[in-house]
A and B are shown apart, each in its own frame.
Chain A
């Protein structure tokens, strides 16, 4: 069964450093998403991406964050100048269409900022 894959599974970084989280969405999907889950809190929407551009973003997704689809298969989330409060599980997801049957999620990247 096709699945969304994320790398790395765990990333530790020093405060102020930049990190890139990588995702390979399901191949025939057109919509891509990033979500995050701070420990003990809700899963929060960050951004959605369609047709090579951001289609929607939350108030969390400020200038510190950026997304890119550098080639036909990868979808990345870059976090510049990481802060302690960026420590969270980051989930990538993809879907064939908006809403409808829901998005399929990867296993997540646990980001720890020290």
Chain B
């Protein structure tokens, strides 16, 4: 079954890069996602990567996927105060349309 793990807290200075990590256990994952949750708001889809890709870049966001180690990371370049939020990674499995989420990683950007 799916099990997604994330570290809990990251503090970063404005303008620096931040990297959030996630590990998952199910090798049959087909898509992996990053969601952002700002205080009092819903889950905002940031980006996704298909499991046959190693990397995806989308403006300030870079997703790296190491399928061998089942490790997913999200790098945010030039982190801004608006990036302060909880970031969740999630996966879907082949033949399955449910998302399995990690516990989330809170990112706090210090001005």
Residues of A within 8 A of B (CB): 4, 6, 31, 33, 35, 41-45, 48, 55-56, 58, 91, 93, 98-108
Q: By the criterion CB–CB under 8 Å, are A45 and B99 in contact?
A: yes
Among B35, B48, B96, B98, chain A packs the most CB atoms within 10 A around the CB of B98
B22-38 to A contact mask, C-beta < 8 Å, 1/0:
00000000110101000
Chain A residues with CB under 8 A of B96: 56
CA distance A93 to B98 in the complex (A): 11
Can you report 12 A-B residue pairs in the complex whose CB atoms are below 8 A from each other?
A: A4-B42, A33-B99, A42-B101, A43-B88, A56-B97, A56-B98, A99-B97, A101-B48, A103-B99, A105-B43, A106-B42, A107-B41
Q: By the criterion CB–CB under 8 Å, are B42 and A105 in contact?
A: yes
A104: min CB distance to chain B, Å: 6
Chain A residues with CB under 8 A of B31: 99-100, 102
Interface residues on B, range: 20 to 34
Chain A residues with CB under 8 A of B97: 31, 33, 48, 55-56, 98-99
B68-105 to A contact mask, C-beta < 8 Å, 1/0:
00000000000000000000101010001111111110
Q: By the criterion CB–CB under 8 Å, are B41 and A41 in contact?
A: no
Q: By the criterion CB–CB under 8 Å, are A99 and B92 in contact?
A: yes
Shortest 8 CB-CB distances between A and B: which pairs? A105-B43, A107-B42, A45-B98, A43-B101, A98-B97, A105-B42, A102-B45, A99-B92
Chain B residues with CB under 8 A of A98: 97
CA distance A28 to B101 in the complex (A): 25
Q: By the criterion CB–CB under 8 Å, are B48 and A41 in contact?
A: no
A49: min CB distance to chain B, Å: 10
Task: List residues of B (9-53) whose CB comes within 8 Å of A's CBs.
Answer: 30-31, 33, 35, 40-45, 48
